[in-house]
Structure 1
């Protein structure tokens, strides 16, 4: 029979709609902004602190919803993020080390939805507000470090063969080595070619050799550096508890980081932009050796001169975990745990140097006001001794670092060490702080655009197609539900303003499909065939046109997603999802509704003419 679905097809359609509604529901529940105040000492009066907090907020005309006390914590609930952040700055400024202040967003989604793993759509920075960083990797550092290592290896070889030489370093990895004559050069060249380490090229020049890095190895190293840095930065972001963050590569040497919902720019920069790592060096206790080139001069605590052995015992790459605690004098300390390799090195070293001093050096790279020949900002290496300890006995894979200024410094150092060391220093070349009020305004504008678009479609469809127009509008709303549920379920999908533009576009495409179907039905009716056949031929005849048009749009969306920027990708992904759902709703769901109303019935006139 024409215009009839099997019963199981209707059940399947209803089931799809129910699932779509369930997984789009979390988007109507908004996060509740709260401030958690953790009281540090039990003898502080919670009631008194609460009264002072209320007084501070009221005097600054900051609106809040309510206060409540739970165990040793005070919670303040706000109506919006703007008031929450204003309150945070005031409370933090007046904390006087009596309590710690934590900003949070608590989900108001019902437990039954959470049980079904239903989550709201992740909002981008332009809709939620937050911080954006564009980072540049300083590859020169790693190449220079690799060059120094290569030079040291070469020095040992030439020293062993008792060959004198002179070095001429360039700005990057490349360097030249000169000998007394070409006979010695040829001898060294033949030896090095025979024992090549596979990542450098040796080229003969007059009385010397030019050593360069192989291009293939150079590209592989750059790729490895950026991948490791992305991994470390992701760990840092996770360590400071930022959800829905984005850390990804951009171009050859750049990384972008998006931290939605975060407003404290300076605090984020401290953690994200820090290049800090630890190095452990032996302290030279022999004054007679101070002129030795193997030692570096330092000032500890702004007054004590120290000479440290340049050779690094272990560094941050050997650290697998760290946490903070307090020593017997209630001073902050960082507990360090090493991997097996680092533990073995430290164990053997400490066994041979019992009674000697070992220094913990914090290494950082600070931007200077100078640029290199390529226009990149030159970073200066800053080293600071934070601890000197005497090796009392054989050490293993765990130890403690003391001598830190305060608990905040200890916490920051612990986070950086836990997340690992960067393969190469980074510098922040662009930063943006998008306020939550701007995000809210963008959401309002996006919703307004959707509503206006839908209203225009409703007026047009009902005016031209009457009942069939109403059916198309019902399908349009179902299409919107499906799009929202897919965006909620899709891992890594983030909705931005460009994404909202994609949704508005697909709503128009969905209506366009129904216009094609309805016009085809009207065309068949004008050919004087039966109403049931006109409906059937109308849907079948319009299908190929709808399919062809949507397939080309899907291909375009894929190209935009693979080649475009993050903003273009947001548009592409919502367009792609919207096209798929619009094909389903425009062809399958509208046909199901039409079949229920008109299928198999004797109708004199169809309300579409």
Structure 2
């Protein structure tokens, strides 16, 4: 029979609509603004701290809803709005001293039954939620220089073991020259060196010597490895500070973008993510007269005690697989270090040979200076600080403790940096933005306003021009919006931005356009004196090819925009893509189902279209 769906087809349509409603529901529940208080010392009384905080909030006329303890036994304060939350954060942060750490966050108000079904709200981008944006640049030259120096030291050792006399001269672009007594020695040396299987080194013959250079492909491969490792380390750091909706991705050749939606702790985020800190362990040279020795470095411990350390690194941050914070028997903070097998073996053999000697823990960081190089990049300088010196009393294994830290906050920061991994190369922040939550709220209001205005215009036009069929198209339009929202909520990694809202509005217009094509085709069939039932059937079948072709070309365009566009363009492309897919289903299938229910198999004298 014409214009009739089977019962199972109608059941499937109803089921899809119910699922769409369920997974779009979380978006009507707003996040609750919270300030979390992490108490640093377990001996402090939580009750006294809560009373103290309440008095501060009341005296500053800041309204709060309630206090509660979360599963980690941290104090949480709920506020009515974000403005009160941020005001409270600023006041409590100034007065926190060393008793507690203040963190700004939000908690979900979604009902448990929706959480059980894994229904989540759409992740909002910085322009809608507010937050922090960083653009980081990776300093590849540091690692290139380090590897060149390592290669030089290896080469020196090889030539000395072969009793070959040579003179080394560093050159440009990480290259260097080696000169020999004559060409015969040079030729013998190059034949020997080529057998060493250094795949990343080229040996070019010059007069009485060799020009040693790094292969271009090696530079390219190493750059890729460095930036991928740095991205992974930064993702780990983001996870360690408890940010779930963050975006960490590559931009261009040497840059990394980090977006932290909903986060307002700007200084703490910058300190953790922008830090290049790692640890190095050096043997203390007890002969202070060796200060002129090229193999030792001069330090001031605690800014007053002169110390000499051997330049050779025993182990560094790359050997650390885990770290955590605790307190020793004197209630002083300490960081517990756990090494990988390679680092554990190295430290074990080294400590066995140096029982009674001192070993220094050096915190190494790269700090931005106020100077720039000829390319306009900020020059970084290396800052090294001895944080601990200990005597090796017995053979060490793959875990040990670091003491000498100033406070528990410094210990936690160091632990996070070590736990998240060591950066392959230093990074510098070249652009930073702190977008307030009020800006995001205003953008959301503007986006919703644009959607409402667009839908209202469509409603007026469709009802005025197509009557009942216009109402059916509007019903399908709202269902299409529900499907689009539920898809965005379910899609892993999808983030809604202002450009994404523009894509949704465009997809709604395309959905209405599809119904206009169907309705006009039905009217055309009626003008050709075809029966009403056949006109409906021919109208849907005839318009399908036009709708399909138009939407496929738009889908292809969306794919191209997503592949080649920036983050903003990608947001527009993905919402447009999803909106078009859902519009094809609602405009063709759902409107047909409603028309079938109203008019299917019935004798109708006139169709209100």
Q: Same fold (TM over 0.5)?
A: yes
1:146–1:173 contact (8 Å) kept in structure 2: no
Q: What is the rounded CA distance, in whole Å, between the counterparts of 2:459 and 2:416 in structure 1?
A: 54
Displacement of 1:214 in angstroms is 1.4
1:26 counterpart residue number: 26
> Residues 230 and 112 from structure 1, CA distance in 2 versus in 1: closer, same or farther, beyond 3 angstroms?
same
Secondary structure at the aligned position of 1:283 is classed as strand
1:14 aligns with 2:36: no
1:201 counterpart residue number: 202
1:536 counterpart residue number: 537
1:361–1:383 contact (8 Å) kept in structure 2: yes
Displacement of 1:439 in angstroms is 0.4
**Mapping 1:107-122, distance limit 5 Å:** 107-122=108-123
Secondary structure at the aligned position of 1:210 is classed as strand
> Residues 83 and 149 from structure 1, CA distance in 2 versus in 1: closer, same or farther, beyond 3 angstroms?
same
2:461 counterpart residue number: 460
**Mapping 1:384-395, distance limit 5 Å:** 384-395=385-396
> Residues 367 and 321 from structure 1, CA distance in 2 versus in 1: closer, same or farther, beyond 3 angstroms?
same
**Mapping 1:313-328, distance limit 5 Å:** 313-328=314-329
Q: What is the rounded CA distance, in whole Å, between the counterparts of 1:128 and 1:189 in structure 2?
A: 61
1:248 counterpart residue number: 249
> Residues 446 and 322 from structure 1, CA distance in 2 versus in 1: closer, same or farther, beyond 3 angstroms?
same
Moved more, 293-302 or 128-137: 293-302
Q: What is the rounded CA distance, in whole Å, between the counterparts of 1:186 and 1:97 in structure 2?
A: 66
> Residues 594 and 359 from structure 1, CA distance in 2 versus in 1: closer, same or farther, beyond 3 angstroms?
same
Q: What is the rounded CA distance, in whole Å, between the counterparts of 1:98 and 1:385 in structure 2?
A: 26
Show structure 1 runs of 5+ residues with no match.
none
1:596 counterpart residue number: 597
2:288–2:307 contact (8 Å) kept in structure 1: no
Displacement of 1:54 in angstroms is 3.8
1:179 counterpart residue number: 180
Q: What is the rounded CA distance, in whole Å, between the counterparts of 1:145 and 1:477 in structure 2?
A: 60
1:245-290 C-alpha deviation (Å, 9 max, x unpaired): 0111111111100011111221111100100000111111234544
Number of matched pairs: 608
Displacement of 1:16 in angstroms is 0.3
1:449 counterpart residue number: 450
Secondary structure at the aligned position of 2:393 is classed as coil
**Mapping 1:45-64, distance limit 5 Å:** 49-64=49-64
Moved more, 298-307 or 577-586: 298-307
> Residues 356 and 164 from structure 1, CA distance in 2 versus in 1: closer, same or farther, beyond 3 angstroms?
same
Q: What is the rounded CA distance, in whole Å, between the counterparts of 1:211 and 1:70 in structure 2?
A: 60
2:26–2:119 contact (8 Å) kept in structure 1: yes
Displacement of 1:329 in angstroms is 1.4
1:158 counterpart residue number: 159
1:213-263 C-alpha deviation (Å, 9 max, x unpaired): 112222111111111101100000110111100111111111100011111
Q: What is the rounded CA distance, in whole Å, between the counterparts of 1:440 and 1:151 in structure 2?
A: 57
**Mapping 1:118-129, distance limit 5 Å:** 118-129=119-130
TM-score by length of 2: 0.96
1:324–1:334 contact (8 Å) kept in structure 2: yes
TM-score by length of 1: 0.96
1:131–1:262 contact (8 Å) kept in structure 2: yes
Secondary structure at the aligned position of 1:262 is classed as coil
Displacement of 1:171 in angstroms is 5.0
Secondary structure at the aligned position of 2:285 is classed as coil
Displacement of 1:554 in angstroms is 0.3
1:142 aligns with 2:148: no
Secondary structure at the aligned position of 1:506 is classed as helix
> Residues 400 and 597 from structure 1, CA distance in 2 versus in 1: closer, same or farther, beyond 3 angstroms?
same
Q: What is the rounded CA distance, in whole Å, between the counterparts of 1:43 and 1:284 in structure 2?
A: 41
1:140–1:172 contact (8 Å) kept in structure 2: no
**Mapping 1:338-357, distance limit 5 Å:** 338-357=339-358
Displacement of 1:39 in angstroms is 5.3
2:337–2:402 contact (8 Å) kept in structure 1: yes
1:587 counterpart residue number: 588
Moved more, 197-206 or 220-229: 197-206
Moved more, 259-268 or 426-435: 259-268
Q: What is the rounded CA distance, in whole Å, between the counterparts of 1:288 and 1:363 in structure 2?
A: 25
Q: What is the rounded CA distance, in whole Å, between the counterparts of 1:433 and 1:318 in structure 2?
A: 35
Moved more, 397-406 or 34-43: 34-43
Q: What is the rounded CA distance, in whole Å, between the counterparts of 1:584 and 1:311 in structure 2?
A: 67
Displacement of 1:184 in angstroms is 3.1
Show structure 2 runs of 5+ residues with no match.
none
Secondary structure at the aligned position of 2:237 is classed as helix
Q: What is the rounded CA distance, in whole Å, between the counterparts of 2:581 and 2:570 in structure 1?
A: 17
**Mapping 1:282-297, distance limit 5 Å:** 282-287=283-288, 289-297=290-298
Moved more, 176-185 or 458-467: 176-185
1:493-543 C-alpha deviation (Å, 9 max, x unpaired): 000000000000000000000000000000110001100011011001100
Moved more, 345-354 or 291-300: 291-300
1:421 aligns with 2:422: yes
Q: What is the rounded CA distance, in whole Å, between the counterparts of 2:545 and 2:445 in structure 1?
A: 37
Q: What is the rounded CA distance, in whole Å, between the counterparts of 2:410 and 2:264 in structure 1?
A: 21
Moved more, 346-355 or 293-302: 293-302
Q: What is the rounded CA distance, in whole Å, between the counterparts of 2:504 and 2:358 in structure 1?
A: 65
Q: What is the rounded CA distance, in whole Å, between the counterparts of 1:489 and 1:206 in structure 2?
A: 67
1:386–1:403 contact (8 Å) kept in structure 2: yes
2:326–2:335 contact (8 Å) kept in structure 1: yes
Secondary structure at the aligned position of 1:244 is classed as coil
Displacement of 1:70 in angstroms is 8.0
Q: What is the rounded CA distance, in whole Å, between the counterparts of 1:95 and 1:409 in structure 2?
A: 15
Q: What is the rounded CA distance, in whole Å, between the counterparts of 2:159 and 2:47 in structure 1?
A: 76
